[in-house]
Amino acid sequence: MTTTYSTFAKKVQDTPSVREPAYRPAMWLSEKEKADLATKIGDADLYQDLFTMREMVREAPDNIELKKALVSGIASAEFAGIDAFSRKVVEWQDWPVPNTLIMAMARQTWDEVRHAWLAKGLVESYGGEIGDYPDTLAGGGPPPGVAPQGPLQQGFGAQAEELLREPVVSLSMTNVSLEGGALILFQETSAVAEKIGDKLMAHCYDYNWADEVTHTAIGDYFVKALTEDNPMEEKKALRVHALAESFRTRLSGQQSDELKEFFAEEMSRATDALG
Ligand SMILES: [Fe+2]
Ligand SMILES: [Fe+2]
């Protein structure tokens, strides 16, 4: 499925993501920045794995630096959420979707703003600030001269980007799978915080968790509504969900073949529809 975008939506698509302080994606750190990160948390490679970071906080509850790192990593996803959902509010007005879905994306944008505020306050309560740690999930593409990473970007660059703009694909990937994962992360992080006696952290992630319940429900509800009389779209939504789940674990060779097959099929279908 494709659509024709308005001048406004195109302008938004062509406008890069910015934040103050500027995004600093963990994926593109310099050797010096990696060394700094390793000095703070012991091993720079662990930083992007929030579940492991959370376990490290549980095991060393007095290590304030680990708490700053965990909350900064989560905060980065909240800023990425504000950026992503606010873009959908604009772009999806050009797709054949109900107005209530646009309203749901607007509501979600504000929820992510509150989450970013909570994370900012929590980091500051530990004596840190946003920007002390790199971003786990934000900031766009690589610097000039660096090849993109990740299973999607490597093999399917522009195709993947186009497909991910479709509301059904995006809802299955982000709201159902990614936010379903966030729901579990927040629930468990709140429980860990409770256990180590960090009342503020427990309270913040309890609040986030409650919102993720709504965000996941938005995904379930609208994927169903948008695919109701369209078995092909429903099949696509289910496959995207399965693929997104596999990204969260390590990609095996077989999963990577499934991914290639999926894109090949979707692209030939899109070409047929256009032709
Ligand atoms: Fe959030
Ligand atoms: Fe969310």
Task: Render pLDDT for 124-156 as a digit per residue (tens, 0 to 9).
Answer: 999 999 999 999 876 665 555 555 555 555 556
CA 107 to centroid of ligand 1, rounded, Å = 12
CA 211 to centroid of ligand 2, rounded, Å = 6
CA 20 to centroid of ligand 1, rounded, Å = 18
CA 173 to centroid of ligand 2, rounded, Å = 12
CA 116 to centroid of ligand 2, rounded, Å = 11
Query: For position 50, what pLDDT does the model report?
Result: 86
CA 268 to centroid of ligand 1, rounded, Å = 35
DSSP letters, 138-165, are -S-SPPTT----SHHHHHHHHHHHHHHT
**Residue 240 pLDDT exceeds 90:** no
* CB neighbour burial string for 189-213, b if at least 16 within 10 angstroms, e if fewer: bbebbeeeebeebbebbbebbebbe
Distance CA(73)–CA(26), nearest Å, equals 10
Query: For position 161, what pLDDT does the model report?
Result: 76
CA 25 to centroid of ligand 2, rounded, Å = 20
pTM of the model: 0.86
Which of the four pLDDT bands, split at 50, 70 and 90, describes residue 250? very low
User: Any idea which ligand is nearest the CA of 85?
Assistant: 2
Tokens of 236: 């696509």
Q: Is the peptide bond before 144 cis (omega within 30 degrees of 0)?
A: no
Query: For position 245, what pLDDT does the model report?
Result: 80
Distance CA(190)–CA(202), nearest Å, equals 4
Mind listing the domains of the chain with CATH numbers? 29-143+154-274 (1.20.1260.10)
CA 30 to centroid of ligand 2, rounded, Å = 30
Tokens of 190: 């709140």
Tokens of 172: 């299955």
**Residue 212 pLDDT exceeds 80:** yes
CA 271 to centroid of ligand 1, rounded, Å = 36
